[in-house]
Structures are given as C-alpha cells and as structure tokens.
Amino acid sequence: MLLFRWLIMLLLFVAALCFAFYAGTGQARYKRLGFVVLKWTMIAAGVFFAVLILERGI
C-alpha cells in the first residue's frame, strides 16, 4: 500500500514537472504529456481508493 502511495505521488510530481517545462519552454508537447500523466494518475488513484473502500466492506 505504501508503494502505491509513493507511486501516485511520484506520478503527480512528474506531471508537475512537465507543466513546469511547458511554462519554461512553451512547447505544447510538455503540456500534452503532463495532462496524459495526470489523467492516468487520477484514474490509478481512483481505482486504488475504490479497492480500499471495497476491501473495508463499506
């Protein structure tokens, strides 16, 4: 469980880094990559928390 939390935090950091590169360079590919990483991070986090909720039986 701790591994998944660190992985989600790392992916959020990577997305923020991509947006920082976009702000610094103005290249649209960094913005696109940042949104892709952010989208999949949110999907993975949603699945992770759904599994936790189902595991507790709520």
Contact 34, 15 (CB under 8 A): yes
pLDDT digits (tens, 9 = 90+) for 13-24: 999 999 999 999
What's the whole-number average pLDDT of the chain? 92
pLDDT per residue as tens digits for the range 28-54 = 999 999 999 999 999 999 998 999 899
Query: For residue 14, what are its two tokens?
Result: 């990577």
Query: According to DSSP H, which parts of the chain are helical?
Result: 2-25, 28-56
- What's the pTM value of the predicted model, to 2 decimals? 0.81
Closest by Cα among 11, 17, 10 to 31: 17
